[in-house]
A and B are shown apart, each in its own frame.
Chain A
C-alpha cells in the first residue's frame, strides 16, 4: 500500500515539475529567440512565474455559461489531465527506478495518450459555442490523423527491440551499443517527433486553437481553474512525450562509457537531460515556424507521414529477417 502511495507521489512530483519546467522553458525561450522582454518581474528574474500563474488562475471566477451541457463541460478537462499524468507511470528512470514496468509499456503509452482526444472533442462539443465546435472538430481531426504515424513509427522500434516493455527497449539499445535513432530508426524518430508535436497541438500544428480566427478553439468558454487544467496538462504531455521519445529512440537512461552499476545515479540525470534537449527543440520550432493551414496539415499526415511510416515498418522488417 505504502509502495503504491510512494509511486503515486513520485508521479505527482514528476508531472508537476515537468509542467513547470517546460512552461518556463517555453516562455523564456520565446523571449530569448524573439528578443522580447519575457517574464522578468515575478521573483528571481521571472523564474517562479508559473507559480504566480497558478495562484492567479485559482483565484479567478469559474464562468459556466447557461447554454453549455454542464456535466460534460465540467468533466472534459479530466480526460486530458488523466491521460497526461498516467503516461508518467511507464517512463523508466533506470531499470529499477520505474513506477510500473508493464509488459505492454509502449502499447499502454500510446493507448492512454489517445484518451485526450475524447476530452478535447467533448470540450468543444459541450461548450455550445461555434468557435468551440469548430476548434473541437478540427482538433479531433488532427489528433486522429497524427495518432496513426505516432503508433506506426513505434512499430519499427518494437520490431528491433522484440519487446514492448520500455525497460526492455532501453536494455536492447544498450545491447546494440547505439540508440535506435542512429541505428536504422532515424525516419521513425523524425515521424514520431512531428506527430508528437501535432498531438500536443503546439505551433506549427495549432490550427485547432488558432487564436486569430477561433479565439481559443475548444477552450473558448473555459475560464479560471478548468482552463488552467487544460494549460497544465498540455505542458505535462509535452514533457512526458519528450521523455517517451528519448526512451524509445535516444537510449533513455543509458549513458555510454559509464559502468552500468551506477545506473540509479546517472539514469535520471541522463533521461532528464535528453528530455530537456528534445523539449528545447520543440520550443525552438514553436517560435520559428508559421502555422500550417488545416488542409496542409491533414495532407501531411495522410499523404506523407502514414505511407512513410508504413514503408519504414516494411524496411525494418526486411532488414530484421534478412540480416
Chain B
C-alpha cells in the first residue's frame, strides 16, 4: 500500500516539474526580454487591419454533437479496460456481453452518421 502511494507521489512530482519548467522559462524571459508595450502593439492581430467587432464572435455550435459523442465513447473506454484485463477469466460470457455492448454503440454511431450530424461543413 505504501509503495502504491509512493508511486503517485513521484507522479505528482513529475507533474509539478512541468509547471516549474514553465515558470522557470517565463521567469528567465522576464529578466532578459525588453518590455515596451504601446496601444497599437497590444491590439488584437487581424492581418494588420484594425480588428472588427469582438474576438468572441458567435460560432456555429456543431461541436455540441461531437462533444456528446466523445463523452459516450470515452466513458465506454472506462468500461472496456477492466473487461480487457479480465477477458481470460470471463471467457465466453464476457465475450458475448462485450459484443452486445459494442454492437449497441456501433448502432448509435451508424445512426449519427445516417442522420448527417457528423457532417462538417
Residues of chain A at the chain B interface (Cβ within 8 Å)? 4-5, 7-8, 11-12, 57-67, 77-78, 81-86, 88-89, 99-102, 107-108, 110, 125, 127-134, 137, 140-141, 144-145, 147-148, 151-152, 155, 158-159, 162-164, 215, 220-221, 224-226, 228-229, 294-295, 298-299, 302-303, 306-307, 310, 313-314, 317-318, 320-321
Q: How far is the CA of A8 from the CA of B94 in the complex (A)?
A: 41
The residues of A that contact B81 with a CB separation of less than 8 Å are: 107, 155, 158, 164
Given A130-B55, A225-B29, A82-B19 contact (CB < 8 Å) = yes
The residues of A that contact B47 with a CB separation of less than 8 Å are: 215
| A50 CB, nearest partner CB in chain B, Å | 14
Inter-chain contact count A-B, CB under 8 Å? 210
The residues of A that contact B91 with a CB separation of less than 8 Å are: 321
Are B44 and A225 in touch, CB under 8 angstroms? no
The residues of B that contact A141 with a CB separation of less than 8 Å are: 63, 66, 120
Are A59 and B109 in touch, CB under 8 angstroms? no
Chain A interface helix/strand/loop/mixed: helix
Q: How far is the CA of A131 from the CA of B29 in the complex (A)?
A: 26
- Of A57, A63, A100, A229, the contact of B42 (CB 8 Å cutoff): A63
Query: Smallest CB-CB separation from B112: which chain A residue?
Result: A302
Given A133-B57, A151-B74, A226-B26, A100-B10 contact (CB < 8 Å) = yes
Are B33 and A89 in touch, CB under 8 angstroms? no
Given A8-B17, A65-B43, A108-B11 contact (CB < 8 Å) = yes
| B2 CB, nearest partner CB in chain A, Å | 14
Are B18 and A86 in touch, CB under 8 angstroms? yes
Query: Smallest CB-CB separation from A85: which chain B residue?
Result: B18
Given A129-B44, A215-B45, A228-B25, A148-B74 contact (CB < 8 Å) = yes
Are B55 and A133 in touch, CB under 8 angstroms? yes
Instruction: Offer 10 A-B interface pairs, CB within 8 angstroms, sorted by A.
Output: A58-B25, A62-B26, A101-B7, A133-B59, A145-B66, A147-B74, A162-B87, A225-B29, A294-B120, A307-B109
The residues of A that contact B56 with a CB separation of less than 8 Å are: 125, 128, 133
The answer to whether B115 has its CB under 8 Å from any CB of chain A is: no
Residues of chain B at the chain A interface (Cβ within 8 Å)? 7-11, 13-15, 17-19, 21-22, 25-26, 28-30, 32-37, 39, 41-47, 51, 54-57, 59, 63, 66-67, 69-70, 73-74, 77, 80-81, 84-85, 87-88, 91-92, 94-95, 98-99, 102, 105-106, 109, 112-113, 118-121
Are A313 and B102 in touch, CB under 8 angstroms? yes
The residues of B that contact A215 with a CB separation of less than 8 Å are: 45, 47
- Of B33, B105, B113, the contact of A224 (CB 8 Å cutoff): B33
Are B21 and A148 in touch, CB under 8 angstroms? no
The residues of A that contact B73 with a CB separation of less than 8 Å are: 148, 152, 306
- Of B10, B33, B45, B46, the contact of A60 (CB 8 Å cutoff): B33
Q: How far is the CA of A85 from the CA of B28 in the complex (A)?
A: 19
- Of B22, B25, B41, B46, the contact of A129 (CB 8 Å cutoff): B46
Are B55 and A127 in touch, CB under 8 angstroms? yes
Are B22 and A302 in touch, CB under 8 angstroms? no
Given A85-B18, A128-B56, A225-B25, A65-B84 contact (CB < 8 Å) = no
Q: How far is the CA of A89 from the CA of B25 in the complex (A)?
A: 21
Known: A66-B39, A144-B66, A307-B109; 20 extra A-B contacts, CB below 8 A, are A8-B10, A12-B21, A62-B30, A62-B33, A65-B42, A77-B22, A81-B18, A85-B18, A102-B7, A129-B46, A133-B57, A133-B59, A145-B70, A155-B77, A158-B81, A224-B29, A302-B109, A310-B105, A314-B98, A320-B88
The residues of A that contact B25 with a CB separation of less than 8 Å are: 58, 225, 228-229
Given A62-B33, A303-B118, A313-B102, A318-B80 contact (CB < 8 Å) = no
Are A320 and B106 in touch, CB under 8 angstroms? no
Are A66 and B43 in touch, CB under 8 angstroms? yes
The residues of A that contact B63 with a CB separation of less than 8 Å are: 137, 140-141
The residues of B that contact A162 with a CB separation of less than 8 Å are: 85, 87-88
Q: How far is the CA of A40 from the CA of B37 in the complex (A)?
A: 34
